[in-house]
Structure 1
Amino acid sequence: MLVRRKKWITQCAKLTASVALLATGLGFAMQADASKGLVAMSQSGMENEWRVVNTKEMEKAWKDAGYDFVWTNANQDPAKQLSDVQDLLARKPKVLIIEPVEYEPAAPVPALAKRAGVPLIVADRALPGTPGKDGYISLLTISYEDTGERVAKDVVAQLTKKNGKPEGKLLHVTGNTGAAPVLEEQKGLGSVFAKYPGIKLIAKCDGKYSREGGRKCTEDFLQSFPKGSIDGIVFDSDDEMIGGLTAIKAANRTDLKGYLWGKDGTADGLHAILDGWASYTVQTPPTFGAQAVKVFEQSQAGKPVPPVSYSDKKEFDAHTPEHRALIEQRLKELKAMGVGCC
């Protein structure tokens, strides 16, 4: 009798544990069901560290806000991005976020989202249409035209020091041809250089915002433009600049030392300035996640939303000891954050 009672107690204990485990599982299911819904993102690519941080920050912001999050990688292919968008819309997310590969090819996206009944937020690069009106809630971006103006002003200052007046021949390694930031940054560069006809951009090459692209473009440039024929190179990203610097060092083109300009404020870009190879870089913050959550939830609550929101940025150079100290401080901040960019 005692043996049977012990077996019965053991079986009850196992049953209780099973019920508890089931309840725990149901609890997890209830927590999952309690999600505010699915958020989908079409990322243009993951070709550099900026994009990696950009994607991770977007995912963290939405998950911290209580949403599930999925994303796709277009691998810099506009056609693939449209296919990705259609697949994501088929999942009926609460909101779709797109960071376009290129400006014009992304034009169908607002209509696709509207047809699917899914709100749309555009981040980083623009697409055709008016934010807040033509099928999307808002554009979260950086003023790339302002970035181009800032880069150009440093170019003017440094070439004036070098040549005694604002003149010189420059090469330009651009980002993805046709992408909104490239078009806008070129506009900013042009608006400043138009005031100094002695400064000319004599050749350009699409480096696709990548180190390898920057290296290849620069190698081709150096073969076409020997020492003494150019005064510097403008790169649309620090990754391109670092790739280009590899080619410059391999070719022993010390004539270009100090006359490279970048964009993004990456750790490697900052080190290139401290080492005397680069003159200047300006931040391109990759953090749009918190803005996206805020814009979406305000819109859903019927509150007014700014059609365009711009991120703040900082400039970096080593033209003075104080500016050099700012770079060193920024590198410490990046190391503490465990990231190498922005």
Structure 2
Amino acid sequence: MSTRRTRTIVAALATVLLAGSMAACGNSDTGGGDGGGDGKIVLGFSQVGAESGWRTANTTSIKDAAVEAGIELKFDDAQQKQENQIKAIRNFIQQKVDVIAFSPVVESGWDTVLKEAKDAGIPVILTDRAVDSADKTLYKTFLGSDFVKEGRLAGEWLVEQTKTAAGPVNIVELQGTTGSAPANDRKEGFAAAIAANPNLKIVASQSGDFKRADGKQVMEQFLKANPDIDVLFAHNDDMGLGALEAITAAGKVPGKDITIITIDAVKDGMQALADGKFNFIAECSPLLGPQLMELVKKVEAGEEVPARIETEETTFTQEQAREALPNRKY
């Protein structure tokens, strides 16, 4: 056989072997995220929005924790609209991410899209807020707070403070986003707790959508319709901070003329408590990022995880807020 012919055959064989090698590489995708080529887990996360200081701190915690954990994060801001979250989840499914996590805008209406994720073999983690789906197999776990407990702690503190009150105590309530888990649960917990004192009466209750500006606007309406307000219960600090402006503008002293109870314990709220403008805060920590990334790794690996994981939280009085403020991370 001539040297030229031998070289031709060798070259042809090399081409065939190279093509086979490339085809094998192309078939090595196990169905993970499109960032999985470099070995990273891909997490699709849909956030409620940026409606409050708490939410901003929550987003920062998740983004920072993903970087530290070496997880590729595909982040979506739903701008407080359920339709945006459903669209984002469907996009994550199309992109074949490894895990989907989201903080639901509202509790209801998720079964269809969650089933789509389940059928695609993509596990889902709920963070911060729960859903009311009867089929618990549609998601792997829930990570967040006990909102009923937060409302109950706020109510129990008020019951203790008003146990010697002779007459009626008029309460106004600034609710969170209508239909959301924290709004529903905090209202439930607070109402159950204050039932222990028949003098405690909620005279007005309306949503402020967890926003500072809305809290101010609704509080202005409360003050016009109810001149004798004794207590404000706000479902988060931001609405309480907005209400402070309305109370001050009405010529009343927040924290004295009107007792103010809120939930979250973000830095601005804690400062208001330390200054005596708020009276009590039940904590709801937004720093869920590190725990979420641990769960993502376990779920993606097929490990069993608890159906519900609650964060450890506390409550604050004025003195406790002053002590905690210098080291507050959010």
Q: Please state which band the TM-score falls in when normalised by the shorter chain.
A: 0.7 to 0.9
**Other-structure match for 2:295:** 295
Change (3 A) 1:50 1:122: same
Supply the distance in 2 between the matched residues of 1:223 and 1:49 (Cα, whole angstroms). Answer: 28
> 2:99·2:300 contact (CA, 8 Å) conserved in 1?
no
Corresponding letter in the other structure for 2:137: D
SS in 2 for 1:126: coil
Supply the distance in 2 between the matched residues of 1:130 and 1:62 (Cα, whole angstroms). Answer: 30
Corresponding letter in the other structure for 1:176: T
Per-residue CA deviation, residues 104-159 of structure 1 (Å, 9 max, x unaligned), is 1334332121133211001111012368x421110001001110110001111223
Change (3 A) 1:328 1:203: same
Supply the distance in 2 between the matched residues of 1:185 and 1:130 (Cα, whole angstroms). Answer: 21
The structural deviation recorded for 1:266 is 1.6
**Other-structure match for 1:172:** 173
> 1:236·1:262 contact (CA, 8 Å) conserved in 2?
yes
Q: Unaligned 5+ residue runs, structure 1?
A: 1-30, 319-323
> 1:35·1:67 contact (CA, 8 Å) conserved in 2?
no
> 2:111·2:138 contact (CA, 8 Å) conserved in 1?
no
**Other-structure match for 1:333:** 327
Supply the distance in 2 between the matched residues of 1:304 and 1:43 (Cα, whole angstroms). Answer: 25
Supply the distance in 2 between the matched residues of 1:235 and 1:242 (Cα, whole angstroms). Answer: 9
SS in 1 for 2:155: helix
Supply the distance in 2 between the matched residues of 1:148 and 1:301 (Cα, whole angstroms). Answer: 36
Per-residue CA deviation, residues 18-49 of structure 1 (Å, 9 max, x unaligned), is xxxxxxxxxxxxx9952413211011111112
SS in 1 for 2:263: coil
> 2:213·2:242 contact (CA, 8 Å) conserved in 1?
yes
**Other-structure match for 2:283:** 283
**Other-structure match for 1:147:** 150
**Other-structure match for 1:222:** 223
| Aligned length, in residue pairs | 295
**Other-structure match for 1:260:** 260
Per-residue CA deviation, residues 292-328 of structure 1 (Å, 9 max, x unaligned), is 222232234443211000001121112xxxxx1x322
Identity in percent: 26
> 1:107·1:127 contact (CA, 8 Å) conserved in 2?
no
Corresponding letter in the other structure for 1:327: A
Corresponding letter in the other structure for 1:88: F
CA RMSD of aligned residues (A): 2.0
**Other-structure match for 1:307:** 307
Supply the distance in 1 between the matched residues of 2:155 and 2:122 (Cα, whole angstroms). Answer: 40
Supply the distance in 2 between the matched residues of 1:222 and 1:112 (Cα, whole angstroms). Answer: 47
2:87 to 74, 83, 89: 83
**Other-structure match for 1:136:** 139
Change (3 A) 1:120 1:277: same
SS in 2 for 1:62: helix
SS in 1 for 2:163: helix
SS in 2 for 1:160: coil
Change (3 A) 1:255 1:47: closer
**Other-structure match for 1:54:** 58
Corresponding letter in the other structure for 1:149: R
Corresponding letter in the other structure for 2:148: E
Change (3 A) 1:329 1:35: farther
The structural deviation recorded for 1:169 is 1.3
Per-residue CA deviation, residues 246-277 of structure 1 (Å, 9 max, x unaligned), is 11111112376350111111222122222222
Change (3 A) 1:77 1:149: same
The yes-or-no answer on 1:157 pairing with 2:151 is no
Per-residue CA deviation, residues 217-249 of structure 1 (Å, 9 max, x unaligned), is 1011111111xx221110000000000001111
SS in 2 for 1:204: strand
> 1:232·1:256 contact (CA, 8 Å) conserved in 2?
no
> 1:111·1:135 contact (CA, 8 Å) conserved in 2?
yes
The structural deviation recorded for 1:88 is 2.2
Supply the distance in 1 between the matched residues of 2:146 and 2:105 (Cα, whole angstroms). Answer: 17
**Other-structure match for 1:273:** 273
The structural deviation recorded for 1:58 is 1.1
> 1:231·1:256 contact (CA, 8 Å) conserved in 2?
no
The structural deviation recorded for 1:90 is 1.4
TM-score, length of structure 1 as denominator length: 0.81
The yes-or-no answer on 1:114 pairing with 2:108 is no
Corresponding letter in the other structure for 1:277: K
Q: Unaligned 5+ residue runs, structure 2?
A: 1-34
> 2:223·2:229 contact (CA, 8 Å) conserved in 1?
no
Supply the distance in 2 between the matched residues of 1:329 and 1:122 (Cα, whole angstroms). Answer: 33
Supply the distance in 1 between the matched residues of 2:199 and 2:133 (Cα, whole angstroms). Answer: 36
